[in-house]
Amino acid sequence: MMRRIFTIIIISFVLIPFTHLAYAKDQITFWTTEVEKDRLKIQQGIASEFAQKTGIEVRIIPVQENLLAEKVTAAFAAKSLPDVLFHPVDFTIGWAEAGILDAKSATEAVEALGKGTFGAGALNLVKVSKGYAAVPIDGWGQILLYRKDLFKEKGLPVPDTWDRILKAAELLYNPPLVWGFEAATDPGQTYTQQVFEHFALSNGVKLTGASGNVELNTPEMIETLKFYKNLARFSPPGNLYWLHTRMDYLSGRAAMIVWSPFILDELSGLRQDQPVIPDIKKGQKGLLAKNTGFVSVIKGPKGAAQYGQLSYLGITIDANRALAKKWVEYLLNDGYIRWLSLAPEGKLPVRKGTTNAPSRFIEGWKDLEFGVTTRAKISEYYGMDAVKTIVSGVEGFDRWGFAEGKGALVSKIYGTKVISKILKRFLDGEISAEQAAKLMDERVKALQ
């Protein structure tokens, strides 16, 4: 999905050994897609506390989300998988069926923590015959961000329907000063699949039909493709991905983008390394945040949906399983609030509390502050309505295929980026909408 992954990743940061943990007798390896320097520091702090309590050292290795699938595949072939993998739901079932993840160990961890302390939706998405393929840890819902001030100037309504979004994109299109809407178009990026899938879901496009078979060559898919191409007319040229859309929105050059809530701390000006629109009045803070509106559920002609992303901890087949389970259980118990503090705006708790304190982690999350250079509660910058928008959909996020038992196929779709590649060919005018829908259907069926 689309995550805040900075272009420069300081790999050496990860390899700093825990020299002060010389007493640790055991070691496990943890791969994480939370690669930003400040987030790595928090993760290393959690690992240090864990080592002090258990004597188990955790070696943290950052991996860019966009490269995760190929690195896991290579490590599996070399029998050198890490002990624990932090990963998106896109890959969970596929990796379990491929023999990469150990469902038995994950299920034992869920049962030790208390099955009833997790949201049922997060567990059901990774349900397998022997329990659960991985342990849910956090999630976020994709949102459409729009410039309320620009919309007000033009007398435009909230862009929560296709018609409203397209009309606003056209009326606010004033390049190179402002792009009406920045659509994801880079065929090599997971972000493109995430944004397009959100719009497809909003028009009732499912991965499978009533028969349970893949069915993407539908009137609803063709309609979605045509709408997306119309929307892309008001975007900058070239292959656009999360970095372009974020930079242009923060600099005031985009009227609308679709992003994850991870953008909220940058948007509020709480990161000095991410400049935003200069304050109009001296001393005025959070101007762009105040002028930004949020839409969670987008309504198309034949449906309505919010794309959601859930993340999991997978214990691999190569793991020291006893030690790996201890680390997983620690992250979801004593270390959980600190884990959520990595980015509270985009890490909603899927474990609500403990058996004795059922709402412990929900309440703890509400008290967390976001930002890096400066810290503040989300409600202080965006108000409680925004907080409600962000947290309301955890149990109702929509995705292709998971509810229909096609998780393994979804893993292949995201791994190959087949939809994004065909979408790009259509956007470039190489094929028609009808040809694109037919090709998507054929290529996805071939992945089964």
pLDDT band at 341 (very low <50, low <70, confident <90, very high): very high
pLDDT score recorded for residue 51: 97
pLDDT higher than threshold 70 for residue 228: yes
Residue pLDDT, tens place only, 260-301: 988 887 887 665 555 566 544 444 556 788 899 989 899 999
pLDDT higher than threshold 80 for residue 383: no
pLDDT score recorded for residue 402: 85
- Sign of the Cα torsion 441, 128, 73, 77 reads negative
3-state secondary structure string across 130-163? CEECCEEEEEEECEEEEEHHHHHHHCCCCCCEHH
Phi, psi of 299 (to 5 degrees): -105, 120
Class of domain 11-139+309-376: alpha beta
Asked which of 77-81, 181-185, 348-352 is least confident by mean pLDDT, the reply is 348-352
Mean pLDDT of the chain: 88
C-alpha closest to that of 347 among 313, 391, 314:
391
**Residue with more model confidence, 416 or 381:** 416
Residue pLDDT, tens place only, 40-84: 999 999 999 999 999 999 999 999 988 999 999 999 999 999 999
Order of strands, sheet of 26-32, starting from the edge strand that comes earlier in the sequence: 56-62, 26-32, 84-88, 308-315, 135-141, 348-349
Q: What is the mean pLDDT of the segment spanning 416-433? A: 97
Which two structure tokens, joined as six digits, stand for 27?
């070691």
DSSP assignment of 156-186: PPP--BHHHHHHHHHHH-BTTTBBS-B----
**Residue with more model confidence, 317 or 7:** 317
CATH 3.40.190.10 domain position(s) in the chain: 11-139+309-376, 143-306+417-446
> Quick one: 143-306+417-446 is in which CATH superfamily?
Periplasmic binding protein-like II (3.40.190.10)
Asked which of 38-47, 117-126, 182-191, 214-223 is least confident by mean pLDDT, the reply is 117-126
pLDDT score recorded for residue 365: 85
Other Cβ atoms within 10 Å of 314 Cβ, number: 31
pLDDT band at 1 (very low <50, low <70, confident <90, very high): low
How far apart, in whole angstroms, are the C-alpha atoms of residue 437 and residue 421? 12
pLDDT higher than threshold 50 for residue 98: yes
pLDDT higher than threshold 60 for residue 17: no
Q: How far is CA 431 from CA 139, 226, 227, 426, in A?
A: 36, 12, 15, 5
pLDDT higher than threshold 50 for residue 18: no
For the chain, give the percent of residues with pLDDT over 90.
70
DSSP-based helix, strand, coil % in the chain, nearest 5: 45, 15, 40
pLDDT higher than threshold 70 for residue 447: yes
pLDDT score recorded for residue 114: 97
Instruction: Look up residue 416 and give its amino acid.
Output: T
